[in-house]
Amino acid sequence: MAEKPSILVTGGASGIGRAIVGAVLRQGWRAVVADLDHDSLDRFANELEAHAGELRFERLDVTDEAAVERCLEQCGAVTGVVNSAGIGRNYPALETPVAEFRRVLEINLLGSFIVARAAARAIGRRGGEGGSIVNISSISGQSGNMNRVAYGASKGGIDTMTRVLATEWAPLGIRVNAIAPGPIATPMAQAMHSDAVKAAWARTVPMARYGRPEEIAELALFLLDPGRSGYITGQIVAVDGGFSAAGIFEPTIDRF
Ligand SMILES: NC(=O)c1ccc[n+]([C@@H]2O[C@H](COP(=O)([O-])OP(=O)(O)OC[C@H]3O[C@@H](n4cnc5c(N)ncnc54)[C@H](O)[C@@H]3O)[C@@H](O)[C@H]2O)c1
């Protein structure tokens, strides 16, 4: 019998990553939950005790190249990756510390590259079936959302990287796609979105609500599954309540 798919989810102990781990388990697949935050990992491991046989928890910094390569060597036959580890920073461009800009690029963009490349190498070493990589980008990578010069640049970089990797790795059977979420109700959004920011989203998202992490997870699952998305690669798919589609419109209902 064929091995169950096994999905490495970075940033898997919180928010969008955590919802993706849940969806992977509901699908009957295995997951490797990788995160920098030891406490969140511990809490999540306790909650998921019933699924212990399908899970592995790894404390991992996605910017640590050697640790990531080691993780991919030791985590069994990973068939898919979701790069959800990321940080957000809000600064006006004139006040953005260079060190913060560097840190955002390092984790969001370079970290996603380090993990994707290690996974592609591991999948390549095994030969055979190929795999699927899903990068969690953002609609802030596609438009000039203010105060997000570093964050937006990191996500725009992820979009371009996704297309390059999809092109280079198609012959290896590795598909690479990205999801560009709009505002999603997670601990990151909770920490970063002031009342003014929430009001701004209410004016600019036609569906006038935050998305749920599970609404990102469903698309991630689809993109990971070769049976459902086997001919899709190099795509950036927005899950944003219509934000990126909208031109001028009048918000009629305030449901935020
Ligand atoms: N929440 C939103 O509105 C939103 C919108 C668009 C895109 N995103 C993206 O979705 C992804 C997940 O965000 P979230 O909202 O779930 O945030 P979150 O803060 O709830 O989860 C992010 C996780 O990444 C982990 N992490 C941070 N740095 C790491 C590192 N160096 N190595 C390993 N893990 C690390 C954190 O510990 C945390 O558990 C991010 O890439 C974020 O940019 C979120």
Q: For 63-95, how does the pLDDT look when each residue is reduced to its tens digit (9 = 90+)?
A: 999 999 999 999 989 999 999 999 999 999 999
- 248 within a domain of the structure (yes/no): no
Q: How far apart are the first and last CA of the chain?
A: 48
Each residue's pLDDT tens digit, 136-178: 999 999 999 999 999 999 999 999 999 999 999 999 999 999 9
pLDDT score, position 177: 99
- 252 within a domain of the structure (yes/no): no
pLDDT score, position 256: 55
Q: What is the pTM of this model?
A: 0.97
State the distance from the centre of ligand 1 to the C-alpha of 127, rounded, in angstroms: 31
Each residue's pLDDT tens digit, 178-187: 999 999 999 9
Tell me if 241 CB under 6 Å of ligand 1.
Answer: no
State the distance from the centre of ligand 1 to the C-alpha of 253, rounded, in angstroms: 29
- 250 within a domain of the structure (yes/no): no
pLDDT score, position 202: 86
- 168 within a domain of the structure (yes/no): yes
Is residue 1 predicted with pLDDT exceeding 60? no
- Which range marks the domain in which residue 212 is found? 6-239
Give the full edge-to-edge strand order of the sheet including 80-83.
55-59, 30-35, 6-10, 80-83, 131-136, 174-181, 236-239
Tell me if 84 CB under 6 Å of ligand 1.
Answer: yes
How many CB atoms sit inside 10 A of residue 172's CB? Answer: 14
Domain count, the chain: 1
CATH number for 32: 3.40.50.720
Each residue's pLDDT tens digit, 196-238: 999 999 889 999 999 999 999 999 999 999 999 999 999 999 9
User: What percentage of the chain reaches a pLDDT higher than 90?
Assistant: 92
Mean pLDDT over each residue of the chain, to the nearest integer: 95
